[in-house]
C-alpha cells in the first residue's frame, strides 16, 4: 500500500477525536477559554443536547481582529511561548488544539471584540474552512456558536448518547466550574429554559446552594486550610467543603476535585476522601466532597492528556496524605451529631403495634413500618435501639406460635423468633430456616407493586402539604426526563423552580416515608445507569422503591409481624430471592445440626 500524507482537514478531524469526544467536551473547552480570558459572566445555551447547537458567551478580554483566524489554526495559542512554560502552566487551556478541533467537525460562528478595539469581528466557518469574515459592532468579549456538531463525521455522531444523557453531562461540567470559580456568574440554558445559574458573588456557599440546594448546602462542613508541613520543596494546601457522615450517596460522582482551579479526575485522591470517612459511612455509600488543592505549579504536570482532566503529581503521596488528613480532621472536629429527625431506620417496631396492627390481619403486611414519623406514640427515637423487655408469663398469657401452611414453593414453617434483629427463625419439617427480614420484605413489596401495576394505576398517597426536593442540575435533568414514568408508579411530582420539584403524592407503599428521601433514592438509582437483568427503567425504579420501603436489619419485629411476613412470603411467586437476586432464606437441616453437635 502506498504511504501518503493526510490532508490537513482529515488530520484535524482525526485529531478532534482526542479533544472533542461529545457535546460536553465542546462546552468544557469554550468555558475554559472564557475563564482564561478573565470573564466575570459566562452564558451557555444548549439545544438538542448539544447536537443542534452550543452557544457560549463571555465578557472576557476577547480576541484581537488581526488574530481571529490564527486562533483556529492547530497548535495556535496565546498561553505558551516556550517549552519552559510547560513546567508551570497556570491557565486552563494551553495546547492550542480545542478551537481547531471543534471547527473541523462543526459549523462555527464567532463574534469577538478585544479590549481597546472599536469594532468586533464575525467569522463563519464550515468544517474548518472560512466562509465569511465581517466587522460588526459588539460588546467586549466573545460569543461562539457551534452548530451541527459531527455533521461531517457520521461515525462519531452515531455513537453519541441520548439527548438527555448529553444534557446531564453538560450540567455536570458547568456546575463543577461554577464551584471552582464562584466569582464568575454562570448561566446554563437548555432549549430556551434556564436550568442553572449562579450570582457570581465570590462566596462558595452561594455556588453550593445553586448546585445542591439550600438544605444540602447548609449541612456541608468547611475544610479550613490544612497544609502538609512546609519544607523547601513541598507545600500542599487543601480547602473546600465536605458532607457530614449523615449525607451520603450511592456512587462516588459527588466527590469533585480541583488542582490549582482545574477540575481533574484522580481515583487516588477520591480514594483519599473515601478513606477519611472510614467507619463513618454505611457499606456501599460514598461522601460528598468539593476539594481544592493548591500547590506550586511546577509540582503538577497537567500536560498528560488532550482533555487535560488527568494530571500527575511530582509527589503523589504528599497530595494523598494532605487530602486524607484535611478531610478527617474536619470530620472529627466539626461533624455534628447525626440528625435523628425525620425518618429513621432501625427504630423499634414493637412500640408501633397500633400502627401496624390494622395492616397485619390475614390480608397481611400491606403498610410497611420501616419508616415512622417521629412523635408517634411509643417512639424511642433511638437508632438500632435495644428491644423493650417482652411481657413475662406473669404479665400476660403466653403466645402460642402459629403453624404456617406452606405454599407450593415453601415448606410448612412455624415462627420461633428473631436473631440479631435481622433474621427470622422458623422451624420446618426438616430443620431450621433463617429468613432475612429485609430481603423477604423487599420481595413481598416488589410482587405487590408489580401486581398493582398490572391491574391498574399504582395506589398513591397524597400529601397534605407538598414537599420541595432540591437536586443538582444533573439530577434535576434526570428526574425531569422521567416525570411521566414516575407518575405511572404513584409519584405526583411537578417542577418547582430551577433544579427543584414539588412532591404532591408518593406510592401508598411509602406512605410513612419521608417524600424527599423517597424521591432522592430513586434518582440515585437512576444515576447508576443500566444494571444487568434490568433492562426496563420501570423495573429499576420499582426495585429501588421496594428496597427503600422494606424493613431493615436492626429492626425488632413482634411475633405477629413476623407471622404476617411469612404469610406474605408464602404467597410470592419467587419467594427464595429478593428482586436483586440475594437469597431470602437459608436452611439448616436436622442432619447438619446433628453433625455440628457431634451426634453423627
How confident is the model at residue 215, as a pLDDT? Answer: 85
Cell numbers at residue 93, please?
487551556
Say if CB 182 and CB 206 are below 8 A apart.
yes
pLDDT band at 27 (very low <50, low <70, confident <90, very high): very high
CA distances from 408 to 527, 568, 575 (A): 38, 13, 10
Say if CB 112 and CB 62 are below 8 A apart.
yes
Say if CB 150 and CB 156 are below 8 A apart.
yes
The DSSP line for 338-361 is PP-SS--SS--SGGGHHHHHTT-S
Model pTM above 0.85: no
Say if CB 472 and CB 169 are below 8 A apart.
no
Angle between helix 515-527 and 473-480 (nearest 10): 90
How confident is the model at residue 582, as a pLDDT? Answer: 80
Put the strands of the sheet holding 460-470 in their side by side order.
460-470, 500-507, 492-495
More confident residue, 187 or 524: 187
pLDDT band at 420 (very low <50, low <70, confident <90, very high): confident
Task: Compute the distance between CA of residue 38 and CA of residue 50 in angstroms, rounded to an integer.
Answer: 25
Task: Compute the distance between CA of residue 220 and CA of residue 331 in angstroms, rounded to an integer.
Answer: 11
287 SS3 class: coil
Radius of gyration (Cα) for the chain, nearest Å? 29
CA distances from 311 to 85, 258, 267, 316 (A): 16, 11, 11, 10
Task: Compute the distance between CA of residue 329 and CA of residue 277 in angstroms, rounded to an integer.
Answer: 11
More confident residue, 162 or 433: 433
| Pick from 200-204, 235-239, 337-341: least confident | 337-341
Question: Which residues are registered as beta bridge partners of 196?
Answer: 188
Average pLDDT over residues 555-560: 87
Cell numbers at residue 480, please?
425531569
More confident residue, 512 or 299: 299
pLDDT band at 350 (very low <50, low <70, confident <90, very high): very low
Residue 96 CB coordination number (10 Å): 17
Task: Compute the distance between CA of residue 116 and CA of residue 106 in angstroms, rounded to an integer.
Answer: 30
pLDDT band at 378 (very low <50, low <70, confident <90, very high): very low
Interval 359-375: pLDDT, tens = 333 333 333 333 333 33
Question: Quick check: 72 pLDDT over 80?
Answer: yes
Cell numbers at residue 101, please?
478541533
| Pick from 72-86, 90-104, 161-175, 507-521: least confident | 72-86
Mean pLDDT estimate for the chain:
78
Task: Compute the distance between CA of residue 115 and CA of residue 101 in angstroms, rounded to an integer.
Answer: 26
Q: φ and ψ at 254, to 5 degrees?
A: -90, 10
Task: Compute the distance between CA of residue 279 and CA of residue 259 in angstroms, rounded to an integer.
Answer: 27
More confident residue, 83 or 380: 83
Average pLDDT over residues 513-520: 80
More confident residue, 451 or 436: 436
CA distances from 388 to 92, 400, 467, 557 (A): 61, 20, 34, 11
E strand map for 48-181:
53-58, 107-113, 120-126, 129-136, 141-147
Cβ partners under 8 Å of residue 152, min gap 6:
13, 105, 127
224 SS3 class: strand
Average pLDDT over residues 287-309: 81
E strand map for 471-519:
492-495, 500-507
Interval 161-176: pLDDT, tens = 888 888 889 999 999 9
Interval 236-273: pLDDT, tens = 889 999 998 888 888 888 899 999 888 888 889 999 99
Question: Quick check: 90 pLDDT over 50?
Answer: yes
How would you class 130 by CB atoms within 10 Å of its CB: exposed for 0-12, middle for 13-18, buried for 19 or more?
middle
How confident is the model at residue 287, as a pLDDT? Answer: 92
Average pLDDT over residues 65-77: 84
How confident is the model at residue 306, as a pLDDT? Answer: 63
Question: Quick check: 396 pLDDT over 70?
Answer: no
Cβ partners under 8 Å of residue 339, min gap 6:
246
How confident is the model at residue 545, as a pLDDT? Answer: 75
How confident is the model at residue 197, as a pLDDT? Answer: 93
How confident is the model at residue 117, as a pLDDT? Answer: 92
Average pLDDT over residues 198-219: 91
Quick one: what percent of the chain has pLDDT higher than 70?
77
Q: Long-range contacts: 64-67, Cβ < 8 Å, 24+?
A: 64/114, 64/117, 65/114, 65/117, 65/119, 65/120, 65/121, 65/135
102 SS3 class: helix
Task: Compute the distance between CA of residue 293 and CA of residue 324 in angstroms, rounded to an integer.
Answer: 12
Which residue, among 259, 247, 324, has the nearest Cα to 288 in the 3D structure?
Answer: 247
How confident is the model at residue 18, as a pLDDT? Answer: 58
How confident is the model at residue 16, as a pLDDT? Answer: 55
Which residue, among 168, 164, 57, has the nearest Cα to 113 in the 3D structure?
Answer: 57
Quick one: what percent of the chain has pLDDT higher than 90?
24
Question: Which residues are registered as beta bridge partners of 300?
Answer: 313
Question: Quick check: 535 pLDDT over 80?
Answer: no
Consecutive H or E run containing 512: none
Task: Compute the distance between CA of residue 432 and CA of residue 385 in angstroms, rounded to an integer.
Answer: 27
How confident is the model at residue 44, as a pLDDT? Answer: 96
Interval 445-499: pLDDT, tens = 888 888 877 777 777 888 878 888 888 888 888 888 888 888 878 888 988 877 8
Domains of the chain: 8-204 (3.30.565.10), 220-334 (3.30.230.10), 350-389+397-588 (3.30.1370.100)
Residue 321 CB coordination number (10 Å): 14
pLDDT band at 570 (very low <50, low <70, confident <90, very high): confident
How confident is the model at residue 82, as a pLDDT? Answer: 61
Amino acid at each position: 500500500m502506498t504511504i501518503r500524507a493526510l490532508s490537513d482537514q482529515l488530520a484535524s478531524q482525526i485529531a478532534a477525536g482526542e479533544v472533542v469526544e461529545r457535546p460536553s467536551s465542546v462546552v468544557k473547552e469554550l468555558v475554559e477559554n472564557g475563564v482564561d480570558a478573565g470573564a466575570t459572566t459566562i452564558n451557555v445555551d444548549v439545544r438538542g443536547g448539544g447536537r443542534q447547537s452550543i452557544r457560549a458567551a463571555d465578557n472576557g478580554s476577547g480576541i484581537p481582529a488581526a488574530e481571529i483566524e490564527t486562533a483556529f489554526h492547530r497548535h495556535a495559542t496565546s498561553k505558551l511561548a516556550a517549552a519552559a512554560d510547560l513546567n508551570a502552566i497556570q491557565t486552563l487551556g494551553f495546547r492550542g488544539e480545542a478551537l481547531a478541533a471543534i471547527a473541523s467537525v462543526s459549523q462555527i460562528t464567532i463574534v469577538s471584540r478585544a479590549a481597546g478595539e472599536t469594532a468586533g469581528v464575525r467569522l463563519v466557518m464550515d468544517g474548518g474552512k472560512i466562509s465569511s469574515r465581517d466587522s460588526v459592532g459588539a460588546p467586549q468579549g466573545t460569543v461562539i456558536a457551534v452548530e451541527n456538531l459531527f455533521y461531517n463525521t457520521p461515525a462519531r455522531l452515531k455513537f453519541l448518547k441520548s439527548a438527555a444523557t448529553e444534557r446531564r453531562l453538560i450540567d455536570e461540567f458547568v456546575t463543577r466550574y461554577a464551584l471552582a470559580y464562584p466569582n464568575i456568574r454562570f448561566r446554563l440554558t437548555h432549549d430556551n429554559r434556564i436550568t442553572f445559574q449562579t450570582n457570581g458573588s465570590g462566596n462558595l456557599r452561594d455556588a453550593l446552594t445553586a448546585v445542591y440546594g439550600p438544605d444540602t448546602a447548609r449541612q456541608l462542613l468547611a475544610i479550613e486550610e490544612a497544609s502538609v508541613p512546609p519544607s523547601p520543596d513541598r507545600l500542599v494546601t487543601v480547602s473546600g467543603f465536605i458532607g457530614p457522615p449523615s449525607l451520603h450517596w450511592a456512587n462516588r460522582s459527588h466527590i469533585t476535585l480541583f488542582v490549582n482551579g482545574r477540575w481533574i479526575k484522580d481515583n487516588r485522591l477520591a480514594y483519599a476522601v473515601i478513606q477519611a470517612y472510614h467507619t463513618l459511612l454505611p457499606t456501599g455509600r460514598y461522601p460528598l466532597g468539593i476539594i481544592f488543592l493548591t500547590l506550586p505549579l511546577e509540582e503538577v504536570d497537567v500536560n498528560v492528556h488532550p482533555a487535560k482532566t488527568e494530571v500527575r503529581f511530582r509527589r503523589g503521596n504528599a497530595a494523598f496524605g494532605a487530602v486524607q488528613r484535611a478531610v478527617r480532621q474536619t470530620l472529627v472536629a466539626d461533624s455534628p451529631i447525626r440528625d435523628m429527625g425525620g425518618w429513621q431506620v432501625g427504630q423499634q417496631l414493637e412500640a408501633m403495634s397500633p400502627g401496624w396492627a390494622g395492616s397485619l390481619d390475614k390480608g397481611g403486611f400491606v403498610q410497611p413500618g420501616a419508616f415512622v414519623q417521629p412523635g408517634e406514640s411509643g417512639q424511642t427515637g433511638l437508632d438500632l435501639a435495644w428491644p423493650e423487655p417482652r411481657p413475662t408469663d406473669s404479665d400476660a398469657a403466653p403466645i402460642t406460635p402459629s403453624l404456617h401452611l406452606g405454599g407450593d414453593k415453601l415448606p410448612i414453617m412455624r415462627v420461633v423468633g428473631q436473631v440479631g434483629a435481622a433474621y427470622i427463625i422458623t422451624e420446618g419439617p426438616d430443620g431450621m430456616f433463617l429468613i432475612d427480614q429485609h430481603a423477604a420484605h423487599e420481595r413481598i413489596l416488589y410482587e405487590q407493586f408489580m401486581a398493582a401495576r398490572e391491574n391498574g394505576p399504582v395506589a398513591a398517597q397524597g400529601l397534605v402539604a407538598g414537599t420541595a426536593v432540591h437536586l443538582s442540575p444533573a439530577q434535576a435533568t434526570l428526574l425531569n426526563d422521567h416525570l411521566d414514568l414516575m407518575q405511572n408508579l404513584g409519584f405526583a411530582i411537578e417542577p418547582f423552580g430551577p433544579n427543584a420539584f414539588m412532591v404532591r403524592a408518593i406510592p401508598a407503599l411509602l406512605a410513612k416515608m419521608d417524600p424527599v428521601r423517597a424521591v432522592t433514592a430513586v434518582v440515585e438509582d437512576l444515576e447508576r445507569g443500566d444494571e444487568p437483568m434490568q433492562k426496563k427503567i420501570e423495573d429499576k425504579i420499582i426495585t429501588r422503591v421496594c428496597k427503600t420501603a422494606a424493613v431493615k436489619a436492626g429492626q425488632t419485629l413482634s411475633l405477629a409481624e413476623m407471622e404476617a411476613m411469612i404469610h406474605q412470603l408464602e404467597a410470592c411467586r419467587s419467594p427464595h430471592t429478593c428482586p436483586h437476586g440475594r437469597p431470602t432464606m437459608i436452611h439448616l437441616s436436622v442432619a447438619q445440626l446433628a453433625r455440628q453437635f457431634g451426634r453423627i
